[in-house]
Amino acid sequence: MSLFMSTPKAAEICRIPCFDQDKVSAIKNTLTKEETRLPELAEFYKLLGNVTRLKILLALAENELCVCDIAHVLGLSTAATSHQLKLLRDKGWLKMRNDGKMVYYRLHSEDLLKALKGDLSMLEARLG
């Protein structure tokens, strides 16, 4: 199953006339303008759709940590932790620094942190 919707077949298209043609046209125009960015947004959410990566981001929002300490926070091996860190670093969300044999990570995107905290607040408000 593809992340992106394919073009619907003629039999799958709604045959009922539009009730508000102007509104439908305006929304279709808006979506067409955003269409090139939507796959990127889907990839963004796909990367964030992992509890381990969310924990890493929130942990590194608190403080810079070495890979071993991150692994202990998560209860994972250093290899599994390093794999997740690489995915986040490749997106530019983390900064890495070497200190001898030790590798340290810190959060590099304040905007991402604001979005995550905003999402958590929204979720708490919805769930009560």
CA gap 102, 122 in Å, rounded: 37
Break the chain into its structural domains and give their ranges. 49-127
User: pLDDT, tens digit, for every residue of 88-116?
Assistant: 999 999 999 999 999 999 999 888 888 88
Q: Phi and psi for 63 in degrees, rounded to 5?
A: -170, 160
Angle in degrees, 0-180, between the axes of helices 51-62 and 38-48, rounded to the nearest 10: 80
Structure tokens at 42: 């889907």
CA gap 105, 116 in Å, rounded: 18
Q: Which residues of 38-48 are buried (b: 16+ CB within 10 A; e: fewer)?
A: eeeeeeeeeeb
CA gap 128, 122 in Å, rounded: 10
User: pLDDT, tens digit, for every residue of 17-63?
Assistant: 777 888 888 988 888 888 888 888 888 889 889 999 999 999 998 89
Q: Is 94 exposed, middle or buried (0-12, 13-18, 19+ CB in 10 A)?
A: buried
Question: Is the CATH code 1.10.8.100 the one for domain 49-127?
Answer: no
Three-class secondary structure of residue 72 per DSSP: helix
> To the nearest whole percent, how much of the chain has pLDDT over 90?
43
Structure tokens at 119: 């999402």
